Amino acid sequence: MIKCVIFDFDDTLVKSLHDKNEFYDEYKKLLKKQKLPYSMSAIKRAHNFAEQEYIKFGGTQRQPTDFYFEKQFFNSLGITKNQKLAKLLHNAYIAYRLKLTKLMPNTKETLSALKKAGISLNVITNTREDTNRILAKKHGIYKYFDHFLMSHEEGTIKSDLKIFHLLLEKLNKNKKTKILPSECLMVGNNLNEDTAASQIGMKTAILTTKMAVNKNLQSFEPNYYIDNLKEIIAIVKNESKITCPDIKTAEQIVMQRINNLLKMHKAVIVGVTGGAGAGKTVFSKRLCQLLNGSHLEADYYFKEYKKPKKLTLDDPRAFDFNLLTKHLKKLKKGQTINCPDYDFDNYKRIGTKPIKPAKVIVVEGLFTLHKKVLGLLDLSIFIESPPNTRLARAIKRDTTERGQTAKSTKIGFIKDQKPSYKKHIAPTKENAEIIIYNNQKRLKNKGMLK
């Protein structure tokens, strides 16, 4: 399970568009104004020297923020230390970078989705003083991060493992439940600096569009190669999938996940799905009972039909996604809704019933994890159950609650529900964060079936 994602900054979150020659020219102009006319070749040599000294210094001790880079630049040119000029050069560097950087594709979308999922987001970057922090604020992404570690402040750089340990210390300070290295994903573009995190047990992902390699440093094979930051959302989701062997285990895990989500959201929407008779309703009602939540049965949101011919109620085309999503948004805002009541024999609505908002809203039904609903969910659950067990439960439900016969339920299950499950329901299992394996024997043993 991934609890923490760590990002490199340059060429991972932001893309630099500047040409170093243009930047050297900016330095040359500033120096000339100070009556220090140096050639372009001298400025390039001085800049490269300062970069190397900066990296060496950053790997051994915490760097002071008194223009260390600029002072090394002056040393190379033989210029007497000049605090005023150092500040001018530093400000010129920041202004130039602000002007010629932009966010990588899908940066904000990815950070927002991960934050919403409760993932701790952090940055580790090798940088000159506070430049990247300023850039992060300018581009509106600084707010997403719990920690923003920069080499000059911490006195160590990637690929040194010390900086990864420092982040873990900060993340786990005064925390009862510690984040482990195996629960962290390092995302960057450098096969040496960023994949070094794997040496302490972190998973790594390398952005191939800006991939860099330093031949002087050891490289490590990443767990993932990605072409776009958005792929991190799917990676985290797959790494974070939880499989529960029974209902009792599921209750504990789901409640813990919901309580964590409630620390970040005023209200949480939990989506529960599975095949007909999988145990969705029983589990959802139990969850609402434990958490004082509101229960919404999505299967009552089917459209009305005079006499359906080709469509069945196991086909998403027969479902009113617009009304369901509208009602979920209202509940999340703290508004009461009027949920439709549905006559399954005559395919029509027969009134409404009020559903009050709550901190926990559990919506369950066949199409709860459909792509049209998924974006509104804070937690997605799929309940898996053997077909024979699901049929037995469906017969019990339909004969006691929906006025149908055992024979009609069995025919409908074999003719419509079984193929529909394979085509429409089973694929949404991929969208689930928690998968619960539920069979009748276990339910009976735990007293869940009456």
Name the pLDDT band for 65 (thresholds 50, 70, 90). low
Q: In this predicted model, what pLDDT tens digit does every residue of 72-107 receive, in sequence order?
A: 888 888 888 778 888 888 888 778 777 778 899 999
Can you tell me the distance from the alpha carbon of 185 to that of 290, in angstroms, rounded to the nearest whole number?
Answer: 33
Contact 61, 35 (CB under 8 A): no
Q: Average the pLDDT over 276-290 and give the result.
A: 91
Q: Give kind and range of the element (H or E) at residue 152.
A: helix 151-154
Name residue 340's beta-bridge partners. 352
Over residues 119-134, the pLDDT tens digits come to 999 999 887 667 888 8
Residue spans of the domains in the chain: they are: 4-14+102-236, 18-99, 241-445
In CATH, what is the architecture of 4-14+102-236? 3-Layer(aba) Sandwich (3.40)
- What percent of the chain shows pLDDT beyond 70? 90
241-445 CATH fold = Rossmann fold (3.40.50)
- The whole-angstrom separation of Cα 12 and Cα 191 is 13
The band of 277, judged by pLDDT with boundaries at 50, 70 and 90, is confident
pLDDT at residue 246 is higher than 60: yes
Asked if the domains 18-99 and 241-445 are classified in one and the same CATH topology, the answer is no
SS3 (DSSP) at 384: strand
Q: pLDDT band for position 448 (50/70/90)?
A: very low
- At residue 450, the pLDDT reads 30
pLDDT in tens, 306-323: 765 565 667 888 899 999
Edge-to-edge order in the sheet of strand 379-384? 242-244, 434-437, 379-384, 268-274, 360-364, 294-297
The structural architecture, per CATH, of the domain 18-99 is Orthogonal Bundle (1.10)
The answer to whether the beta carbons of residues 192 and 217 sit under 8 Å apart is: yes
**Angle, CA of 164, 169 and 175, to the nearest 5°:** 140
The whole-angstrom distance between residue 349's C-alpha and the CA centroid of its chain comes to 38
Q: List the beta strands (DSSP E) in 333-444.
A: 337-343, 348-355, 360-364, 379-384, 434-437
Higher pLDDT, 156 or 194: 194
DSSP-assigned beta bridge partners for residue 151 = none
In this predicted structure, the answer to whether residue 443 has a pLDDT above a threshold of 60 is no
Residue 67 identity (one-letter amino acid): F
CA distances from 179 to 171, 182, 233, 236 (A): 7, 8, 19, 15
Confidence of residue 406 (pLDDT cuts 50, 70, 90): confident
Instruction: Give the pLDDT confidence score for residue 101 in this predicted structure.
Output: 86
Mean pLDDT of 203-227: 83
Query: What's the sign of the alpha-carbon dihedral 275, 277, 279, 284?
Result: positive
Query: Is residue 440 scored above 60 in pLDDT?
Result: no
- Quick one: pLDDT at residue 332? 95
Q: What is the dihedral of CA 82, 84, 85, 90, to 10 degrees?
A: 120
Other Cβ atoms less than 10 A from the Cβ of 348: the count is 14
Residue 62, Cα to own-chain centre: how many angstroms? 32
Q: Which residue has the higher pLDDT, 9 or 177?
A: 9
Taking the C-alpha atoms of residue 85 and residue 70, their distance in angstroms, rounded to an integer, is 9
Q: What is the mean pLDDT of residues 312-339?
A: 92
pLDDT of residue 168: 94
Q: With cut-offs at 50, 70 and 90, classify the pLDDT of residue 442.
A: very low
Rg (CA), the chain: 29
